């Protein structure tokens, strides 16, 4: 097991691991870099078999950002080895993790008596859309309010979609700042990662798009192809709340784009209850959960 703190220098190593072993929605090196918050240090853990793990450290905490970049059957041994190494350092008080349900259960069953798992801090639901079944025309009574909202916006305003990489960065940053101030609900949100993404010109992303109303950028959609799959991850969907139903129509645009690009499935991203209720109105085929929790010395 090797620890690399200069992660940009190890980009080739990391991307090779993802290309070979990646399968998770957040097995994306650039997103790993974007999502680092102030005061945190990204550390890439690598094994001689080419597998890896995205981790982060700050103030006596080690954090597992997502499942190991490895075959699923190897997840628990990799995680145990990393966690054991963390607790061998006296300054490490706890290890936090976000893991899918089954991998978390397997890990907890395999923990040594010297390590205990705390209760789940919070859980996220990740709805999966079957894009082969999704009809962009949204027929039927259930979707009538969405069709009406789209027609109303397009009738009253000039609506267009442009390449986000060519949009004025200052205007994109403004969307993030307005979103941060105006968003409601109880869902957790981080914003610095979106500023980092804009500054890096959406490196590592596919189909980054700006939703424009009357010539002014009002929303951003972006994501990437999930490694070794025919699925797309709609990682980013942010708007400035300037128009009624803007979030609804931005989400619809993301579904329409994913359908046109030919993806079989779309992972719509993790969220807590209010966001899950919002996404469920489009009838996802299935969903899975991830759980954020801590591990401590017993």
- Residue written as token pair 């070979």: 20
Q: What is the CATH number of the domain that holds 18?
A: 3.40.630
Q: Which two tokens stand for residue 102?
A: 């089954």
206 and 84 both lie in a single domain: no
Out of 58, 86, 117, a domain closes at: 117
- Tell me what pLDDT residue 202 has: 98
Same-domain status, 112 and 213: no
Residue pair 130/97 in contact by the 8 Å Cβ criterion: no
pLDDT at 185 (0 to 100): 53
In a domain, 152, yes or no: yes
Are 112 and 139 part of one and the same domain?
Answer: no
Do residues 265 and 135 both lie within one domain? yes
pLDDT of residue 184: 61
Contact yes or no for 234/223 (Cβ under 8 A): yes
Determine the pLDDT at residue 182.
86
Phi then psi for residue 228, to 5 deg, are 55, 40
Is 24 contained in some domain? Answer: yes
Give me the long-range contacts of 97-100 (CB less than 8 A, separation at least 24).
97/63, 97/64, 97/292, 97/293, 97/294, 97/295, 98/64, 98/65, 98/66, 98/124, 98/290, 98/291, 98/292, 99/64, 99/66, 99/67, 99/290, 99/291, 100/67, 100/288, 100/289, 100/290, 100/291
pLDDT for the residue 190: 77
> Is residue 195 in a domain?
yes
Do residues 238 and 145 share a domain? yes
One domain, residues 94 and 167: no
Is residue 68 domain-shared with residue 143, that is, in the same domain? no
**What is the pLDDT, as a whole number, of residue 214?**
98
User: Which domain CATH number covers 251?
Assistant: 3.40.630.30
In a domain, 173, yes or no: yes
Say whether both 104 and 155 belong to one domain.
no
Provide the residue-wise pLDDT of the chain in tens; the chain has 298 residues: 999 999 999 999 999 999 999 999 999 999 999 999 989 999 999 999 999 999 999 999 999 999 999 999 999 999 999 999 999 999 999 999 999 999 999 999 999 999 999 999 999 999 999 999 999 999 999 999 999 999 999 999 999 999 999 999 999 999 999 999 887 654 456 789 999 999 999 999 998 999 999 999 999 999 999 999 999 999 999 999 999 999 999 999 999 999 999 999 999 999 999 999 999 999 999 999 999 999 999 9
CA–CA distance, 222 with 162 (Å, rounded to integer): 12
Which domain, by its residues, includes 18?
A: 2-117
Q: 288 in a domain, yes or no?
A: no
* Residues 156 and 244 occupy one common structural domain: yes
pLDDT value for 162: 97
Task: Single out the residue in 93, 117, 141 at which a domain terminates.
Answer: 117
Same domain, 136 and 278: yes
The domain tally of the chain equals 2
194 lies in the same domain as 246: yes
Residue 296 within any structural domain of the chain: no
Q: How many CA atoms lie within 13 A of 297 on its CB side?
A: 10
Tell me if 199 is assigned to some domain: yes
Same-domain pairing of 161 and 246: yes
The residue out of 117, 150, 165 marking a domain boundary is 117
Q: What is the pLDDT of residue 183?
A: 78
């Amino acid at each position: 097991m090797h620890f690399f703190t200069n992660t940009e220098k190890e980009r080739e190593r990391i991307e090779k691991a993802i290309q070979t072993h990646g399968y998770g929605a957040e097995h994306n090196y650039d997103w790993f870099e974007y999502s680092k918050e102030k005061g945190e240090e990204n550390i890439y853990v690598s094994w001689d078999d080419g597998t890896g793990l995205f981790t982060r450290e700050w103030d006596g905490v080690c954090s597992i950002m997502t499942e190991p970049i490895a075959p699923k059957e190897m997840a628990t041994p990799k995680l145990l080895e990393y966690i054991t190494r963390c607790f061998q350092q006296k300054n490490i008080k706890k290890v936090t993790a976000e893991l899918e349900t089954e991998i978390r259960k397997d890990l907890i069953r395999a923990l040594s008596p010297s390590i205990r798992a705390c209760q789940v801090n919070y859980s996220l639901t990740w709805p999966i859309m079957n894009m082969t079944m999704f009809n962009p025309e949204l027929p039927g009574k259930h979707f009538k309010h969405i069709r009406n909202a789209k027609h109303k916006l397009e009738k009253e305003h000039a609506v267009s979609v442009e390449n986000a990489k060519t949009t004025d960065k200052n205007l994109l940053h403004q969307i993030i700042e307005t979103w941060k101030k105006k968003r409601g609900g109880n869902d957790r949100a981080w914003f610095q990662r979106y500023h980092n993404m804009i500054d890096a010109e959406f490196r590592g992303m596919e189909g980054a798009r700006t939703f424009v109303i009357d010539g002014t950028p009002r929303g951003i959609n972006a994501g990437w192809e999930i490694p070794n799959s025919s699925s797309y991850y709609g990682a980013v969907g942010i708007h400035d709340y300037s128009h009624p139903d803007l979030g609804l129509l931005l989400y619809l645009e993301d579904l329409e784009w994913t359908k046109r690009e030919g993806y079989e499935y779309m992972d719509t991203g993790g969220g807590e209850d209010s966001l899950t209720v919002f996404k469920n109105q489009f009838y996802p085929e299935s969903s899975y959960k991830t759980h954020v929790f801590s591990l401590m010395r017993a």
